[in-house]
Chain A
Amino acid sequence: MKTIKIQLLVNNNEYEVSVSPNETLLDILRERLGLTGTKRGCEIGECGACTVVMNGEAVNSCLILAPQADGSKIMTVEGLMRNGEYHPLQQSFLNHDAVHCGFCTPGMLMSAYVLLQQKQNPTETGIKQAIAGNLCRCTGYQQIVEAIGDVGKKGETD
């Protein structure tokens, strides 16, 4: 199959990748760049496990064809750590026992990250709306909502 060269800035690292037109951003992240923190749960944009930040917005990477991502700035869960320290969101998820099996966690963190970038101290409903596209089968969401709310309250958004 014909391949296309694309440029990506992922977690502040530059990549040039030859991709097939039918590969998704999710395929590239997991299979080419080895960034397996981003999860594959449905591949039809319903579960949110594959959520990443693309040019400042939370997107389902399973719905983005790799060529569409050419020239984009991407952040995945691997890019959340700062100098070997957990991001406040990650720490808060741990403090609130918001990680059960952990499969939804990377996507949740990405949605939460974008929410806090865009809105300071969001309401409970605001948080629920922001993660409504991220399914979690384990937690019932309560601890996740509390974890995000806590970070919002403290204003540690970056």
Chain B
Amino acid sequence: MPCINYTAKCFAQNIPHAKILSIDVSAVRRLPGVAAVLTAADIPGSKTFGIVTKNQQVLVSDKARYLGDGIVLIAAETREIAGRALRHISVSYRQLPVLSSPDEAMKPEAPSIHEGSNIFSHHKVRKGDVESGFSQADILLERRYQTQHIEHSYLEPEAVLAEPDEQGGVRITGSVQNLFSTRRSVAEVLNLDLAQVQIKQATLGGSFGGKDEASTLLCCRAALLTMATGRPVKMVNSREESMLESYKRHPYNMEYKLGAKRDGTPTAFEIRCIADGGAYASTSAFVTWRSVVQATGPYRCKNVKTDTLAVYTNNNYTGAMRGFGSPQVCFASETLMDELAEKLQMDPLTLRLKVVFRDGDVTATGQKLRHKVSLIEVLNEVAGISDFARKWGQNRNERRKAYPVKKGIGLACSYRGVSLGAEGADAAGVIVSVQTDGSLIVSSGLTDMGQGAQTAIAQIAAEVLGISLARVRFLNTNTSRVPDSGPTVASRTTIMGGSAAKSAAEKVLTAMKPVAAHLIDADNPENIVVQKNHFIDAETGRKVTFSRVADACFQRGVSLFGFGWFKSPKTTWDEETGRGDAYFTFVYGANVAEVEVDTETGKVKVSKFYAAHEVGRAINRAMVEGQIYGGVAMGLGYGLLEEFNFNQGSPTALNFDEYLLATALDVPQVECRIVENPDPVGPFGAKSIGEPANEIAAPAIINAIANATGKRIYQLPANLEQVLLGHKLAGSGARGSENFLG
């Protein structure tokens, strides 16, 4: 059956919040060249999906909650017919008030976007007594911060191919980040068993947390069209569709109150963050949970009261994006710390060295840090390579004289919980299969989206077996071939997948050793080591190649197949008391940015960047560095360039002409230092890097701007008007691109 290449979606045209009164597609059904027309009424199974709360609609029938909601789905033989068909759909709406911010949505008179309150998640952390903490303080700081919506901007827009399989099921190949949650949704929507839905990962052209529900939606729709037509269906989003439909990073409104002693010791933190969750629940509850845990930053403080709320609005829904609730609070806590230093007339490094967590300290959630706490180390590293203290003082002294370009240097640091933590079940599986010629096939339920997951996992398996990486082949993930390993998120791949790979490879090794011992006449298989593609008897030095042992195992019927399963160590959380051992381990990082601020135009140039990150152990150095470079570039965009704005629920830009990403000319040279303090839990001591590399670039830059100009910025991004005028200009409301119907 020929593939259907052209599909179209009818969106809630220009009405972000509306009751849908009727949908008439009868005229479309009569058009020649239209292969299928579907509305919510045609969905055989569940009409909704979602990771935490299932309230996102595959197609909406009763109510549109944001502009990206789809109402009718069309499959056609040509692009022209698909486009023409859209004009034959008639939908009538009753407009509802558009809630364009959490402030509006939290008003008592605001209509409910879903059932009940628009506040759909509330987490808290409670430690000590903040009132008494504030009464002991010599200095009080109260500040408000605001961050913006961020578009993931994976360079490849979402794309999937769905095909009917021979046994009544469906096979989907696509750019999907979390195959197993996507499979669950597709199965529920189509009313099929999980075993009847096979999802194969195509090479992902970037994801950064973004190809979860956005891709699930596409998969569900393509699968519906495939079932309706019995033909393969390809669905590819244009950039405009992608930006209109997909979720973003949460914008936060944050209120921070900090009390501190004259020597810098914080006595109390009181924090309230409100996240714009947009139209659907998505992972907001998890994102804001990470924020609540990490909101104070890595600072010792006896009294903490933090609340994070997520609120429905009629903006795009918001969900997972690299950092997952940390970039927002890192911006607030790190720039606040700098202000505290300023008030105390200390330099920002000295203050931090004094008050950051050390070994055995207790975090805001009451968790005792039992591993090596590397904050002092990363701070000293980054300050050393950047000559921070000297430059910071010099810039401040020359601030008045320098005109119009002023120089600045800024510092930020963070601690970050590794993997999912108490957010959810945390386990992963890896299959290691040695072939009879000694080559190796590794497969896992965790996906590679360009971050190098496959290489890291393959490298760990190769290291255990003593073979070279060139002999390892990593299979793209396929839900029907590997166990559900949970989502590839939270920088958990190396530690979770790596640990599972290690255990799988060790199983195979244990099975191979006696055979090797026999081949080289070793008395004790225990004494056999693997190295450079050989099994070697440590006693006699006799050796045999890995491939020969593999072949001999096959001849003797010894299984060369290993399955490894790794479940994370226990974490705990009590929603009521707001306390717990949130994550099983943490990573630490410190960044320094140097900037040149043109005070006549407001233009900020980042001239040099330094990053020190503790990663447990670097399994692959170049990969870790690559994650840092990429994380810094994205953080620079967060700090200075990117903002996905809305005007009454309507995005003001839908393509890269107006949504600005950092180019090669914007990104400075990044010098990095990898600090290794192997973690007892991680495979060979490895922890993670993907997200830590992204969370503190923006505050380092903002602190550098303050060092240059003496002025503080409380709202991201620090674009020209923020830097020059200290506030945002009102948006024009014009849409960047109108042709999003493709």
Residues of A in contact with B (beta carbons under 8 Å apart) = 1, 39-44, 46-47, 49, 96-97, 100-104, 127-129, 131-145
Please, which residues of chain A bring their CB within 8 A of the CB of B449? 101
Please, which residues of chain B bring their CB within 8 A of the CB of A145? 664
Please, which residues of chain B bring their CB within 8 A of the CB of A137? 152-155, 206, 208, 630, 634, 661
Please, which residues of chain A bring their CB within 8 A of the CB of B203? 101-102
Chain A residue with the shortest CB-CB distance to B693: A140
Could you list 16 further interchain pairs (A-B, Cβ under 8 angstroms) beyond the known A46-B656, A101-B206, A139-B629? A1-B80, A100-B450, A103-B156, A129-B665, A131-B664, A137-B634, A138-B626, A140-B629, A140-B630, A140-B667, A140-B670, A141-B663, A142-B667, A143-B622, A143-B625, A143-B626
Query: Chain A's nearest CB lies how many Å from the CB of B665?
Result: 5
A39 to B670, CA, bound (A): 28
Query: Chain A's nearest CB lies how many Å from the CB of B609?
Result: 9
- In the complex, 11 of the A-B residue pairs with CB atoms within 8 angstroms, ordered by the A residue number, are A41-B155, A100-B451, A101-B154, A132-B665, A134-B664, A137-B154, A139-B629, A139-B630, A140-B626, A141-B664, A143-B629
Please, which residues of chain B bring their CB within 8 A of the CB of A132? 663-665
A143 to B656, CA, bound (A): 23
Q: Which of A42, A49, A102 has the most CB of B within 10 A?
A: A42
B323 within 8 A of A: no
Please, which residues of chain A bring their CB within 8 A of the CB of B208? 137
**Nearest 9 CB-CB pairings of A with B:** A101-B450, A140-B629, A103-B205, A140-B633, A46-B656, A100-B450, A97-B622, A128-B664, A103-B155
In the bound complex, do residue B631 and residue A43 qualify as a contact, i.e. CB atoms below 8 Å apart?
no
Chain B residue with the shortest CB-CB distance to A101: B450
B422 within 8 A of A: no
Total contacting residues, chain B, CB less than 8 A: 41
Please, which residues of chain B bring their CB within 8 A of the CB of A102? 203, 205, 450
In the bound complex, do residue B155 and residue A101 qualify as a contact, i.e. CB atoms below 8 Å apart?
yes
Known: A41-B155, A46-B655, A101-B204. A141 touches B633 (CB 8 A): yes
B157 within 8 A of A: yes
Contact with A along B132-157 (1 / 0, CB 8 A): 00000000000000000000111111
Known: A44-B737, A101-B206, A140-B630. A135 touches B661 (CB 8 A): yes
In the bound complex, do residue B155 and residue A104 qualify as a contact, i.e. CB atoms below 8 Å apart?
yes
Query: Chain B's nearest CB lies how many Å from the CB of A26?
Result: 13
Chain A residue with the shortest CB-CB distance to B629: A140
In the bound complex, do residue A43 and residue B450 qualify as a contact, i.e. CB atoms below 8 Å apart?
no
Please, which residues of chain B bring their CB within 8 A of the CB of A136? 155, 664
Known: A101-B450, A142-B670. A42 touches B656 (CB 8 A): yes
A5 to B450, CA, bound (A): 40
Contact with A along B645-684 (1 / 0, CB 8 A): 0000000000111000101110101100000000000000
Q: Which of B207, B630, B665, B737 has the most CB of A within 10 A?
A: B630
A131 to B662, CA, bound (A): 12
